[in-house]
Amino acid sequence: MAVLRVGHRAGRDPRLTTHLALTARAFGAERMFLHPPDPELAERVRSVAERWGGGFEVVGADAWKPVVRDFPGPVVHLTMYGRPLRAVLPRLRLAGRLLVVVGGAKVPPDLYRVATYNVAIGTQPHSEVAALAVTLAELRGIPGRGRWPGARQRIVPSARGKRVVPARRTGGRP
């Protein structure tokens, strides 16, 4: 599974787009294509994946259309104006690979036409991060406490405070 962020504004959206990338990673996406590219943001997310594990990457995309056109599976555009997520979930669950597209402030009209599915998690204004999290949770479930390949650190659940410890390694595996 991959995510495409269309319309990222490097000077204005780095926090929101970083949250999209972290959400995509935590819910099991393999990569996020970022249009237009933002090498600094990609590096920050790479650093997180390096510490916390997993093979997630941010790939810059100079144009979003080739990413959509060349993706080997259905393209799911998250928008408040789409069909209800529950109505298309059965088909999405059958797909081997999905590209989930999250637009920015101004979504290109062509995106609505080229997407396999225009999908809404609701019909009220909401965050792109919320839409992505709900969609991925419905498709993949809530991320568990399992081990992440290559993690250098892990969280120890605690009722109070924060506890981060080195990841245990057994038998050469995380």
pLDDT (tens digit, 9 = 90+) per residue, 21-79?
999 999 999 999 999 999 999 999 999 999 998 889 999 999 999 999 999 999 999 99
DSSP secondary structure string, the chain?
-EEEEES--TTT-HHHHHHHHHHHHHTT-SEEEEES--HHHHHHHHHHHHHH-S--EEEE-S-HHHHHHH-SS-EEEEEEEEEEHHHHHHHHHH-S--EEEEE-SS--HHHHHH-SEEEES-SS---HHHHHHHHHHHHH-S--S---TT-SEEEPP-SSS--EEEPP-BTTB-
Q: Output the pLDDT for position 17.
A: 93
Q: Sketch the domain layout of the chain as residue ranges.
A: 2-143, 150-174
Q: Output the pLDDT for position 168.
A: 76
Can you give the pTM of this predicted structure? 0.90
Task: Assign domain 2-143 one CATH number from 1.10.375.10, 3.40.1280.10, 1.25.40.80, 3.40.30.10.
Answer: 3.40.1280.10
pLDDT (tens digit, 9 = 90+) per residue, 102-151?
988 788 999 999 999 999 998 888 899 999 999 999 999 888 767 788 89
